[in-house]
Each structure stands twice: as C-alpha cells, then as structure tokens.
C-alpha cells in the first residue's frame, strides 16, 4: 500500500507531499517535450510521453505521489466534443449536441481513452510501489462549464442554459456515469487514488450549490466508496460551504483552496483527511516568505491526517529550485 493510499484509507497522520500540476509547464524537461508536441490532446493520448511527463517531477524531487499527466477535458473529448486549445484563451469545445451525447457507448469511450490507461500501466510499472499513482476527473459542474461554453463572468445568467435544456438530468446522469467509468478504468490500470476537481465550484449561483456541486460529487464519492477507491475532493472557491460539502459528500479527503483558513479547517472539517491550502503564488516570492507560509499550514495540521500540497495547481512561472527548497523544508520540519 502506498503512503497516500494508507493515509486516505486509515486516516493516519503520516508525512506526505505532492503538488497539483507537478508535471507541467514550470519544468524545463516538460517544456522540451511540449515544444515538439504542439497538439495537447494528442500529447495526453501519447502513452509513452504521458508516462514520461508524469514521472519527471518524481525523478527531480522524489515526491510521495505521481499524478498521471492528462486533462479533465479528456472525458468530454471521449464523449464526442472536439477541443481546441488557444494560447492565453484556454480550451474551446465544439457545440454541445444532446442527442449525440446521449447516444455514446462505453466501447467507443474506452477505445478513445485507452492510451491514458496504457500510460497508467506503464507508469505503475516504473514507479516505486511505496509511491501513490493518482488518477483524476473533473467534477460534473466544472466540466459542464466547458461543455456548454458558459462564460465565467456571466454564470448567473448562463446557468439558465442548463435549466432550459431538455433532458438536462439525463445529460448530468450520463456524464456522472462516464466519469465513474473513467475512474474505474484508471484504477484497474494501476492508479490507487482519484482526485475529483471541481475547479469552478465557486462560480455556482446562490442556492444552487447542492444541486450542481454537492449531489454530483456525492454520487461519485459513493461510487468510489462502493468500489473501495480512495478519493480526494476539491470544491474550489466555496468558502465556508466546505463544511457543508464535507458533511454531505463524505469524501476520504478534501483539498483546501488558498482562501480557506487552516485553523478554521482543522476545527470544522471532521472525519476527513485534509490536503493542501498553500497559495501557489507564494512560490513566486522570496524564500523566507515561502517557508513562513508553509510553516503556517504545517503547524496548523500537526498530528492530524494531512497531505502537504497547494490550494491550486503550480503556476508556469514557478522556479523549480524554489519548489525543491519547499519540499526539503517540509521533509525536515520538526518545529
């Protein structure tokens, strides 16, 4: 059993560190591969390169967990939407077609995403057995933002696209079913943990949090529980609703975003492993500020089940050497 898997399953206190987006643009070894592979979707579907990228930060930093190099939008891709990545504008998906979406089948889905599962198999063979291999999905709300091309600054208006859509509940249930299928395939391929990213949960209109965030995440966590799959939820941006989310969804672990006060989290979030919280922007500051920020979280969560991580993904402009100093500081911390 890996270090992270042990913490999640048994809710034990044990030093463990990994970072969201630890395999990515801040690493020169990644940029070298990316410069030769302009199509991001094709890169995610290149099993050999995906595995190599996944292992880059493990080789550089000896982290406790690897997270497979992929993207949350691979599920909408496998369900028939074309994806185009534009520099400085992010991903753009082709127009959502309800009929086409509801006519998907598992055979085609499996065929389209089989390179991801192959990458996991390759990575698991190369990864130290003590280290965890994390798989991931995007939560339904966050994926729907992209699938329906909802403008994030007009959520209050545009969420009516969901309500006015015929068969919306059918679409949501179908999406959840395929997300669970993707989780199961990743676990069967060799991953031992899944993280569920609800990156845009903080944009959910007032009064709709239960419908769009709590209930869909709870269905996925329930699936994981029934399959004995350790899980981590990340409902970014919901502020003190983290407490309600935790009580309703009951995940094995919950990743804190950088707006959550660590002492509040320690007091209010019970029967769950805590992860992350440190603002990734702090890694752009001077060493003493970085270590001061890290100390705040390490001391707050001393002697309770906690996984050291960030409150969001590593930024592209992060200096790899600063991350190395942070990891060394965490591993040697005795205060």
CB-CB contact of 218 with 247 (8 Å): no
CB-CB contact of 98 with 175 (8 Å): no
Give the model's pLDDT for residue 85: 84
Closest C-alpha to 262, from 302, 313, 314: 302
Q: What percent of the chain has pLDDT over 70?
A: 96
Give the model's pLDDT for residue 149: 85
Range of the domain at 167: 3-332
Q: What is the DSSP string of 175-222?
A: HHHHHHHHHHHHHHHT--EEEEE-TTGGGSPTT-HIIIIIHHHHHHHH
Question: Token pair for residue 82?
Answer: 């074309």
Which residues of the chain fall below pLDDT 50?
157
pLDDT, tens digit (0-9, with 9 covering 90-100), for 178-229: 999 999 999 999 999 999 999 999 999 888 899 999 999 999 999 999 999 9
Quote the CA–CA distance of 98 and 96 in Å, as a whole number.
6
Closest C-alpha to 30, from 314, 248, 300, 331: 314
Beta strands in the chain (DSSP E): 65-67, 83-86, 90-93, 132-138, 193-197, 231-234, 253-256, 273-276, 306-307
pTM: 0.96
Rg from Cα positions in the chain: 19
Quote the CA–CA distance of 191 and 127 in Å, as a whole number.
11
Quote the CA–CA distance of 321 and 114 in Å, as a whole number.
35
The CATH number assigned to the domain holding 229 equals 3.20.20.210
User: What total number of domains does the chain contain?
Assistant: 1
Question: Token pair for residue 206?
Answer: 């007032």
Quote the CA–CA distance of 74 and 115 in Å, as a whole number.
11
Give the model's pLDDT for residue 158: 52
Question: Token pair for residue 181?
Answer: 């299928």
Give the model's pLDDT for residue 150: 81
């Amino acid at each position: 059993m890996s270090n992270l898997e042990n913490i999640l399953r048994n809710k034990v206190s044990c030093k463990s560190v990994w970072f969201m987006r630890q395999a990515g643009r801040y690493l020169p070894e990644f940029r070298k591969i990316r410069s030769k592979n302009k199509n991001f979707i094709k890169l995610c579907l290149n099993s050999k390169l995906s595995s190599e990228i996944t292992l880059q930060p493990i080789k550089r930093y000896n982290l406790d967990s690897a997270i497979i190099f992929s993207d949350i939008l691979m599920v909408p891709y496998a369900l028939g939407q074309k994806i185009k990545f534009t520099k400085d504008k992010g991903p753009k998906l082709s127009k959502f077609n309800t009929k086409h979406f509801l006519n998907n089948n598992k055979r085609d889905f499996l065929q389209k995403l089989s390179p991801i599962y192959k990458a996991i198999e390759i990575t698991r063979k190369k990864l130290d057995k003590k280290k965890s291999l994390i798989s991931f999905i995007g939560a339904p709300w966050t994926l729907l933002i992209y699938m329906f091309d909802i403008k994030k600054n007009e959520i209050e208006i545009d969420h009516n696209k969901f309500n006015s859509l015929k068969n919306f509940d059918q679409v949501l249930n179908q999406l959840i079913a395929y997300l669970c299928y993707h989780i199961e395939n990743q676990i069967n391929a060799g991953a031992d943990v899944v993280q569920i990213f609800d990156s845009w949960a903080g944009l959910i209109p007032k009064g709709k949090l239960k419908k769009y965030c709590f209930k869909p995440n709870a269905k996925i966590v329930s699936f994981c529980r029934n399959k004995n799959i350790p899980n981590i939820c990340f409902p970014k941006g919901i502020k003190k609703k983290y407490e309600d989310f935790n009580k309703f969804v009951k995940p094995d672990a919950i990743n804190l975003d950088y707006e959550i006060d660590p002492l509040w989290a320690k007091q209010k979030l019970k029967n769950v492993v805590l992860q992350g919280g440190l603002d990734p922007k702090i890694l752009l500051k001077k060493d003493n500020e970085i270590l001061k920020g890290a100390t705040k979280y390490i001391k707050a969560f001393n002697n309770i089940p906690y996984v050291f991580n960030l409150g969001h993904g590593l930024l592209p402009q992060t200096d790899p050497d600063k991350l190395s100093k942070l990891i060394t500081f965490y591993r040697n911390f005795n205060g």
